Amino acid sequence: LAKTTQPISMDSYEGQEVNITCSHNNIATNDYITWYQQFPSQGPRFIIQGYKTKVTNEVASLFIPADRKSSTLSLPRVSLSDTAVYYCLVGGITGANNLFFGTGTRLTVIP
Amino acid sequence: EAGVAQSPRYKIIEKRQSVAFWCNPISGHATLYWYQQILGQGPKLLIQFQNNGVVDDSQLPKDRFSAERLKGVDSTLKIQPAKLEDSAVYLCASMTSGRAGEQFFGPGTRLTVL
């Protein structure tokens, strides 16, 4: 089970770019890296997923170095509505080995 | 596309009582998960189904928790008897087979055990 390490909390001002880094030193060859966002009183919501290099969608970018032992979620120009807990997970296509959420990073966006 | 449905949204019971939660996944999603999320912590996987078969239930406290997914669609999670430490939000999620990691979560059921 590839566990992850993230900062417990981060603060950012509105309009800034936020980068949240996750360490996953024991990532396996067939593991993907997935990030989720969770607002209070809601279930987590999928943000982005990648295997290597860079992935970008309409919400965020995910940077994965060649050794894949860490990854960075980048949120461009955050707004107050981005205040949430962000979880990094690593795991394969099937099976339960991608389902360890950890405690996540609590991002607070300040006006 | 309808999302994952869960009921009830809230439940308050006394310790030693029984409780059941229901989940209806997104249509066509073969994989279904139940998670327990204690306040201030990340979700913890309890059980994973693939269609109506159990893939992983290694973290399910089987002396008091049970789950089933009849006909490979809806699922129920039961706690009997409940303990104070079972107070948590119980989340259901579903995923299409073969796609890594993109789980769709329901709103959860908040359980309070008094």
Closest by CA position to A72, among listed A22, A3, A5, A8: A22
Q: For A46, name the nearest residue in chain B, comparing CA atoms only.
A: B102
Residue B101 has pLDDT above 70, yes or no: no
CA gap A50, B55 in Å, rounded:
24
DSSP for residue A28: -
Q: Which residues of chain B approach chain A closer than 8 Å at the C-beta?
A: 4, 31, 33, 35, 40-45, 48, 50, 55-56, 58, 91, 93, 97-108
Distance CA B32, CA B54 (A): 9
| SS3 assignment, position B82 | coil
Name the residue among B81, B75, B51 with its Cα closest to residue B63: B81
Domain architecture of chain A: domains with CATH? 9-110 (2.60.40.10)
**What are the DSSP calls for B7-71, one per residue?**
E-SEEEE-TT--EEEEEE--TT--EEEEEEE-TTS--EEEEEEETTEEEE-TTS-TTTEEEE-GG
* Contacts B46 to A, Cβ<8 Å: none
Contact A88, A100 (CB under 8 A): no
Q: What is the pLDDT of residues A13-59, one digit of tens each?
A: 999 999 999 999 988 888 889 999 999 989 999 999 999 999 999 99
State yes or no: pLDDT of A108 exceeds 60: yes
pLDDT tens for each residue of B62-85: 999 999 998 889 999 999 999 999
Chain B CB contacts of A34 below 8 Å: 100-102
Q: Which residues of A touch B108 (CB under 8 A)?
A: 41-43
Confidence at residue B13, expressed as pLDDT on a 0 to 100 scale: 98
Query: B18-74 pLDDT, tens per residue?
Result: 999 999 999 999 899 999 999 989 999 999 998 889 988 988 999 999 999 988 899
Cross-chain residue pair A101–B44, CB shorter than 8 Å: yes
**Residue extents of the structural domains in chain B:** 5-97
Topology adopted by domain B5-97: Immunoglobulin-like (2.60.40)
Judge whether A40 is closer than 8 Å to chain B, CB to CB: no
Place of tokens 């989940």: B23
